[in-house]
Amino acid sequence: MPECGMLTRDRKALQRCSVVLCKQMVVDEVLIQSLQADDILTESMAESLMVSNISKRSFRLLLLLPKRGPKAFSSFCTALRDTEQQHLCDLLTQSTPTDLSEAHRESMEVSLDTDSPILTPVIPCSHEFYLSHIEQSYKMNSSPRGLALVISNVAFDPLAAPELDLRKGGEVDDEVLRKVFTELDYIVTVQRNLTAQDMRVCIESFSRRPEHRTVDSCVLCLLSHGVEGAVYGTDGQLLQVSAADKAVPKFRFKDMDCGVEQTDGPPRTCSPSCEQLDAGREGQSDANLRQRDDLGRPRIKLPQRSDMICGFASLKGTAAMRNTKRGSWFVQDLNTVLRLRAKDTHLADMLVQVNSRIKEREGHAPGTAHHRCKEMSEFTSSLCKDLYFFPKHESHF
């Protein structure tokens, strides 16, 4: 139990910076768990903070800290560093009343929000959880779980596509996705800055890889500018969703923001997968049904978009927000939820949690059109079972 009372100088530092901290600090599970591990927060305090509205957590935490003993301040600063909020830690330890306003202004100019990709490893699934859920869920125990392809267009040809701006922060997204899916036991390939034709060729080549037959899932991520039903190559040409469907029948392209689908695999094997896209939406149905497999055996007829789940960074007709230093809001929150919740939560429920986190966000960029901007993500699903990643669990059967 920590001694009552924080050191006077530390308490005054918290008071001086309280306005900035309330506006910019992200009080997520990682930060709370760090304080709990140092015995600064009790279990009941941690639970109370987690059930609070995200916008109120900072205020409630700042009320608690001065009462949690002389070590609370240093533990709090460590937690800020561990969650990549170093600028707030610096503000607390270095600012004085005379330079606080300058530090406040500089910290606001950093980005639209203060979240950043969390560093905590993907939490493993327990063997007991695996045994109790494997029967009612999709088969997901191959190692690797599957193949993943991330196509990220950040820089566009200024002559061919002068209207397409540099996607600052896009390189952060593809690295975040590479890391999290690698930890989820996928073999990840990242391709950057491709023309529309090169994107098509890349996806076709990916779909023909023989390894798909021996794994349970696949991941496809497309990050670029786009319009409804199409995504831009670096040459300013559009890759149509319908054209991609025809070129790669193995994959079901539903929308252009994010999603999960199923690979063929052995006949009648359920093997879901993920795709992340960052552009417009396309809702055409596809009546083409594959009749036979490569060995001539009859297939059970299923719509081409069955057994898949698609998430979208934003609602149709609205923009997705991207932080120039920390990447898009959607990828940030998807990364956080996958790392903390994949251990015991199926994908549809995780995307609900992503929706909830996105809804709570608000841009902080005073003096710009993005100040107090909002975003709302969504997803659609044709899954017939729960889809668990069972992270870091190795099947012995």
Most confident of 7-21, 106-120, 257-271: 7-21
Min mean pLDDT across 152-156, 268-272, 321-325, 331-335 is at 268-272
Give pLDDT tens digits for 272-322.
434 333 444 433 333 333 334 444 444 444 455 677 877 778 787 777 888
pLDDT reading at 101 higher than 80: no
* pLDDT score at 361: 84
339-346 mean pLDDT: 95
Q: How many CA atoms lie within 13 A of 327 on its CB side?
A: 22
* pLDDT score at 24: 87
Q: Which CATH architecture has domain 8-108?
A: Orthogonal Bundle (1.10)
pLDDT reading at 358 higher than 60: yes
- Write down the CATH number for the domain with range 127-381: 3.40.50.1460
* pLDDT score at 219: 84
What phi and psi, each to the nearest 5 degrees, are found at residue 160?
A: -80, -30
pLDDT reading at 2 higher than 60: no
pLDDT reading at 114 higher than 60: no
Min mean pLDDT across 14-18, 73-77, 141-145, 246-250 is at 246-250
Within 10 Å of residue 302's Cβ, how many Cβ atoms? 14
Mean pLDDT of the chain: 78
Per-residue DSSP letters for 28-58? -HHHHHHHHHTTSS-HHHHHHHHHS-HHHHH
Query: What percentage of residues in the chain have a pLDDT greater than 90?
Result: 39
* pLDDT score at 120: 80
* pLDDT score at 303: 54
Amino acid at 147: L
The pLDDT-based confidence of 242 (bands split at 50, 70, 90) is low
Beta strands in 194-312 (DSSP E): 217-223, 226-227, 230-232, 238-240, 258-262, 272-276, 309-312
240-244 mean pLDDT: 61
Bridge partners (DSSP) listed for residue 298: 292
Min mean pLDDT across 45-49, 125-129, 310-314 is at 310-314
pLDDT reading at 100 higher than 50: no
* pLDDT score at 181: 95
pLDDT reading at 375 higher than 60: yes
* pLDDT score at 304: 57
Who's near 387: CB < 8 A, 6+ residues apart?
137, 138, 140, 260, 272, 309, 346, 347, 348
The burial class, CB within 10 Å (0-12 / 13-18 / 19+), for 24 is buried
pLDDT reading at 259 higher than 50: no
- pTM of the predicted model as reported, rounded to 2 decimal places: 0.62
In contact, 260 and 208? CB cutoff 8 Å: no
* pLDDT score at 297: 40
Measured CA to CA, the distance from residue 116 to residue 329 in angstroms comes to: 9
92-121 mean pLDDT: 49
Which tokens go with 46?
A: 């941690």
* pLDDT score at 252: 33
| SS3 (DSSP) at 189 | strand
* pLDDT score at 138: 93
pLDDT reading at 119 higher than 80: no
Site of tokens 């021996």:
214
Give pLDDT tens digits for 3-12.
456 888 898 8
Closest CA to 258 of 380, 370, 85: 380
231 vs 123: which has the higher pLDDT: 123
The pLDDT-based confidence of 15 (bands split at 50, 70, 90) is confident
pLDDT reading at 150 higher than 90: yes
Q: Domain boundaries in the chain?
A: 8-108, 127-381
150 vs 373: which has the higher pLDDT: 150
Measured CA to CA, the distance from residue 101 to residue 27 in angstroms comes to: 23
238-250 mean pLDDT: 57
* pLDDT score at 117: 62
Which tokens go with 395?
A: 């099947």
* pLDDT score at 147: 93
Amino acid at 240: Q
Measured CA to CA, the distance from residue 215 to residue 210 in angstroms comes to: 10
Bridge partners (DSSP) listed for residue 190: 150
